Amino acid sequence: MNFTEQQRLHLEKLKEITRCDKKYVCLELPREELCAARDLGMEHFLECLVTARKKCRHAFPFGKGRFCRCPIRVYLENSHGERRPA
């Protein structure tokens, strides 16, 4: 993904506060290769669409689904993604 200087600075701040077992690989991948998630209009969460029950420190169950609370993934979706219908 291409980032503006402002986005790059913000992502560096997020890296300082975000623990990542995947070594922040999402910052290097094209958007199409990021873990599947849907922006539902919430500021700090995405709906996690990953079907395999892989361990992820940022995914948590809620009702019948799962949500993602990774600050970096949420920022990437909110700043580069398009809101997808639920």
Q: What does the pLDDT look like over 24-64, one tens digit per residue? A: 999 999 988 999 999 988 999 999 998 776 788 999 999 99
**Is the pLDDT confidence value at 84 over 90?**
no
Residue whose tokens read 């395999």:
52
Inter-helix orientation angle 71-80/5-17, to 10°: 160
| Percent of the chain residues past pLDDT 90, beyond the cut | 62
Q: Using CA atoms, how far apart are residues 82 and 39, in angstroms rounded to an integer?
A: 8
Q: At a CB cut-off of 8 Å and minimum separation 6, what does 82 contact?
A: 39
pLDDT value for 85: 46
Amino acid symbol at 20: C
Which residue from 80, 7, 9, 67 is spatially nearest to 37, judged by alpha carbons? Answer: 67
- pTM (2 d.p.): 0.83
**Is the pLDDT confidence value at 70 over 50?**
yes
